[in-house]
Amino acid sequence: MTDIPELGLPQVRIAHPEHVTEVIQNIIKDGCDKLQVTADFDFTLTKFKANGTRCAGTHNVLEEGHVLPEFYKEEARALRDHYFPIETNPNLTIEEKIPIMVEWWTKAHDLFAKCDMKKDDVRVMVENSTAKLRDGCTWFFDQLHANEIPLLIFSAGIGDVIIEVIKHQATLHDNMKIVSNYLEYDAQGNMTGFQDDLIHVFNKNEGAIHDSDYFQNVEHRNNVILMGDSLGDLHMADGAIGVKNKLTIGFLNVKVEESLELYMKKYDIVIIEDETWNVANAILRKVLQNRTRESQ
């Protein structure tokens, strides 16, 4: 394995260490100018638990606040209690899960649209929520920005909430592209529903980002680091052009015993029940150190 101690931690599992070593070494050698990063948001960039308590995803942020009515909170929790075990069931195929996930997201968004919410309410709910970026995320964001490495955040959550979480806990940099489900407002700032096509956890190989010129604009960056917590996240960079080296890092937050074998087959690196960004930061640090050596 490369001289990155974080890869040897007990919560880090790697099925094919020789392959991972080769990919990381190639990414380090090629440097910042050839690198692009793609990451999921909920429970990838953000913590799954803090101090033993479950943290909020972007949809959950809306349940925690005092802005939305009780009927929304009760029905949203009931939907999550029913559908989340299906999403994380390792015995179901992605194909079997897709129509069920569409059903969940559609019901959740229809429920949300019944609430009388203003644009400014999102910021207030985020500031009072339990959504937390993983330890070390701020350093990662800042270093990507300082070294002009593009970051695509691709989320089935709520884009407006993502923006406010990053603004509140880090810095929203101009090298970030956030693709998600965005709220729609009328001229008076009243929320009326959602914009564009639905993004759920298993259709990240479709939609606006793959039809846009994003990947064309970064096609000279043929090394990709992709990070997610769902098997559907593996398709977030399907539109990337001419990829030479691709490193995938998966965060396994729930059903570890049942899902570990499958995650190790699909992801290059699997991080188990860890709330930090230490592994990604360690790899990026090596890339940056190589740039420093070359400039000296």
pLDDT tens digits, residue range 77-120? Answer: 899 999 999 988 989 998 999 899 889 988 988 888 788 888 88
pLDDT tens digits, residue range 229-251? Answer: 999 899 999 888 999 999 999 99
* pLDDT exceeds cutoff 60 at 1: no
pLDDT computed for residue 206 by the predictor? 64
Beta strands per DSSP E along the chain: 12-13, 35-39, 49-50, 53-54, 151-158, 176-181, 183-185, 191-194, 223-228, 245-252, 269-272
Q: Tell me the chain's radius of gyration from C-alpha atoms.
A: 19
Return the CATH number of 5-48+132-295, one of 3.40.50.1000, 1.10.10.10, 3.90.1150.10, 1.10.15.40.
3.40.50.1000
Intrachain domains 5-48+132-295 and 50-127 with the same fold: no
pLDDT tens digits, residue range 122-176? Answer: 999 999 999 999 999 999 999 999 999 999 999 999 999 999 999 999 999 999 9
* pLDDT exceeds cutoff 70 at 24: yes
Report the catalytic residues: 40, 42
Domain range summary for the chain, segments of one domain joined by +? 5-48+132-295, 50-127
pLDDT tens digits, residue range 43-72? Answer: 999 999 999 999 999 988 988 877 888 898
Confidence of residue 210 (pLDDT cuts 50, 70, 90): low
Show the tokens assigned to 131: 């959504």
Q: Does 183 or 144 have the greater pLDDT score?
A: 144
Confidence of residue 293 (pLDDT cuts 50, 70, 90): low
**Is-contact 157 164, C-beta < 8 A?**
no
pLDDT computed for residue 208 by the predictor? 60
Classify burial at 93, counting beta carbons within 10 Å of its beta carbon; exposed 0-12, middle 13-18, buried 19 or more: exposed
Return the CATH number of 50-127, one of 1.10.150.340, 1.10.510.10, 1.10.10.10, 1.20.1420.20.
1.10.150.340
Length of the chain: 296
The continuous run of DSSP H or E covering 188 comes out as none
The continuous run of DSSP H or E covering 40 comes out as none
